[in-house]
Amino acid sequence: MTNSVGKIVSINKDLYTVRENNNVFSLSVRGKLKNTKLTVGDNVEFNKETKTIENVLERKNTLERPLISNIDKLFIVCSNKVPAFSTYLLDKFLVLTEVNNIKPIIIITKMDLLNYKEKKELKNTLSYYEKLGYKVYKNTDVHKIKKEMKNNVVAVSGQTGAGKSTLLNIIDKNLHLETGEVSKALGRGKHTTRLVSLIYTNKSLIADTPGFSALDLKLTKEEIKRGFIEFNKNCKYKSCCHTKEEGCEVIKLVENKKILQSRYDSYIKLISEAKDESKW
């Protein structure tokens, strides 16, 4: 019997749930694959008779947190209040998607908690990202978000309490994912979603993921630099770090407020946290 090909949609200890078209199979892993760390999102060859995974196909990308592979789009869910909006976190996620070749979609939640002035400020910030070519939606733009999902494998990420599970429950009323009250005393959330799994809805496979309080990128300085798309477009010096070089257009554009100061601050902070020790 020839092997079938499917996608791992969830992993529970040694049990792998694999989806092939509209069927799901509970499989185990055998032989040489035992030493390979399989992830949700992996495309695998499996044997329906022995119910075993035989081979894993090459990945196009892997995210570490949540651990998931072969993602087409990342929904970056950004809350405005509890937890507060963080351009640093947004920029961090954007770098992650640029480097991993994933299309980012920015989704803003809790707009209802903002007053007029705060809304105006937020719109200014977001229009900068839109001008860069990033798609920005509110969590109430359900139709547009559904359109983005169709025929794609999507991971939903963002801080704990940002409203990821709530968003998915709105997109598909049958999901009933657990959502949580954000701890008021601490001003930060507790994890409500724990395991990562790909859910089939709206002709898409989508992963609700546990939020986090800190995201470790583990990227090199060069990768981080590549993630700030407008810097590379504007500065004509290929090897420029955009930190202290004379004639650097990026530094000028920050001074002239053409590049968001917060975006440049994110860049400097990320560079200082880069995993490599290379001197710049």
Ligand X SMILES: Nc1nc2c(ncn2[C@@H]2O[C@H](COP(=O)(O)OP(=O)(O)OP(=O)(O)O)[C@@H](O)[C@H]2O)c(=O)[nH]1
Give the residues lining the site for ligand X (CB under 6 A).
109-110, 112-113, 139, 158, 160-166, 179-182, 189, 191-193, 210-211
Cβ 117 to ligand X shortest distance, Å: 18
Size of the site for Zn ion (CB under 5 A): 5
Residue 128, contacted partner among Mg ion, ligand X, Zn ion, none, CB below 5-8 A by kind: none
Rounded Cα distance, 98 and 87, in Å: 16
Rounded Cα distance, 274 and 213, in Å: 18
Report the residue closest to ligand X, judged by CB: 211
The stretch near Zn ion (CB under 5 A) out of 39-47, 145-153, 250-258, 267-275 is 250-258
Helices (H), the chain: 87-100, 116-131, 142-149, 164-171, 221-227, 229-234, 249-255, 261-272
Omega of the bond prior to 104 within 30 degrees of 0, cis? no
The stretch near Mg ion (CB under 5 A) out of 86-94, 165-173, 239-247, 266-274 is 165-173
For residue 109, what are the contacts with CB-CB under 8 A and spacing of at least 6?
A: 77, 78, 79, 80, 138, 139, 162, 163, 166, 167
- Say if residue 146 is exposed, middle or buried (CB neighbours under 10 Å; 0-12, 13-18, 19+): middle
Rounded Cα distance, 235 and 253, in Å: 10
Contacting Zn ion within 198-237 (CB under 5 A) = 235
Sign for the pseudo-dihedral over CA of 123, 124, 129, 134: positive
Residue 189, contacted partner among Mg ion, Zn ion, ligand X, none, CB below 5-8 A by kind: ligand X
Told to check if 192 binds Mg ion by CB under 5 A, we report yes
Query: Are the C-beta atoms of 187 and 135 separated by less than 8 Å?
Result: no
Residue 112, contacted partner among Zn ion, Mg ion, ligand X, none, CB below 5-8 A by kind: ligand X
Enter the tokens of residue 46: 């499996």
Q: Which is nearer to Mg ion, 211 or 227 (CB)?
A: 211
Q: Which is nearer to ligand X, 142 or 268 (CB)?
A: 142
- The only residue of 17, 165, 202, 204 in contact with Mg ion, by rule CB under 5 A: 165
- The only residue of 9, 167, 171, 240 in contact with Zn ion, by rule CB under 5 A: 240
Residue 41, contacted partner among ligand X, Mg ion, Zn ion, none, CB below 5-8 A by kind: none
- Say if residue 88 is exposed, middle or buried (CB neighbours under 10 Å; 0-12, 13-18, 19+): middle
Residue 250, contacted partner among Mg ion, Zn ion, ligand X, none, CB below 5-8 A by kind: Zn ion
Cβ 147 to Mg ion shortest distance, Å: 23
Which amino acid is residue 261, in one-letter code?
A: Q
The stretch near Zn ion (CB under 5 A) out of 68-76, 114-122, 188-196, 249-257 is 249-257
Cβ 114 to ligand X shortest distance, Å: 10
How many angstroms separate the Cα of 162 from the Cα of each of 91, 140, 146, 190, 204? Answer: 16, 14, 19, 11, 22
- Please state, as a whole number, how many other Cβ atoms lie within 10 Å of the Cβ of residue 154: 25
Size of the site for Mg ion (CB under 5 A): 4
Q: Which residues of this protein are in contact with Zn ion, per CB under 5 A?
A: 235, 240, 242, 248, 250
Q: Which residues of this protein are in contact with Mg ion, per CB under 5 A?
A: 164-165, 192-193
